[in-house]
Amino acid sequence: CIRAADQCYSLLPNVDLPSELKCSLCKSIFMQAVMIPCCQHSFCEK
């Protein structure tokens, strides 16, 4: 389901994705997001 959302987002590059849904490392939609407990930052698992 998330994988499909990422594919749809890549087809619509002019759509501004909310920052809460973007990984701060890869700058794409979260894929299997994980959170670091001490600082509450989220990243894609890979």
Across residues 18-39, what is the average pLDDT?
A: 87
Q: Is the Cβ–Cβ distance between 29 and 5 less than 8 Å?
A: yes
The residues with which 41 forms a beta bridge, in sequence order, are 36
Q: In terms of pTM, does the model score above 0.75?
A: no
pLDDT at 15 (0 to 100): 66
Q: What is the percent of the chain with per-residue pLDDT over 70, rounded to a whole number?
A: 67
